[in-house]
Structure 1
Amino acid sequence: MSVVEKRNFSLMHLGDRVHWENNRSKTMNKEQVYDTSISPLMLQIIEICKDKGIAMMASFDIAHNGEGPNGEDCSGLVCSTLLPDGDGEPNQVFMQANALIRRAGRPAPMMITTTQADGSKTMTAVI
């Protein structure tokens, strides 16, 4: 929003402002609402959590019937953030919740990790 729009916006009568906000949000899809209203707040929250070493997880279902900029299907669109604590240690419950969200509720595949004598690891997924 430009400075001029902010000035004009702040001069609106409160009732007109509420009506304008309600109508504006009705014409925006969930992804646009997230991008314009939630994302700026999340950026602040993420910065505070990183600065103070607070582990966090947040997830938003912003699915809509439209398409992404390259024609992507947006009917299952989710925006998630997972941050470790100040020591780089993730909250295990948050990690499990995030894994479930990323799989869209599908069961996890069985994972087999093999450690070689040289210390290298091979991970195999059994689907």
Structure 2
Amino acid sequence: MIIYNFQPENGWEADLEDMASLIDERTKLIVVVNPSNPCGSVYKREHLEEILNIAEKYRVPVLCDEVYANVTFGKEPFHSVRSLTKNVPVLVVGSIAKRFLVPGWRIGWIVIHDRINSFGFKTGER
């Protein structure tokens, strides 16, 4: 696992230049945690679109942890990456424990959003 940098001065947004510089032929996906815990940051729509642009350029799917999607505070509205993607496959992680505020319920899911088999992957191919 390779970790890209964040910018605390920009609401803990991902450092997009750093993110792009770390992608190579071994990169299998980009992981995005939004909303973030413990930082509490919620990425702006434009920032998420820039991440999707990087993913599309390098033909890398995005895994987005949106477990805290229904537990946000502050002025920035939450945008799910799945609603923004047009060409990039996105895997979205969710959880009952956080969504319905039932601590201890360890039930979650991953939903795959790939509108047009964007990268033309065949089984086992990247």
Instruction: Provide the TM-score with structure 2 as the length reference.
Output: 0.29
Larger Rg computed on CA atoms: 1
RCO higher in structure (CA 8 A, sep ≥6): 2
- The TM-score with structure 1 as length reference comes to 0.28
Q: Say which structure is richer in helix.
A: 1
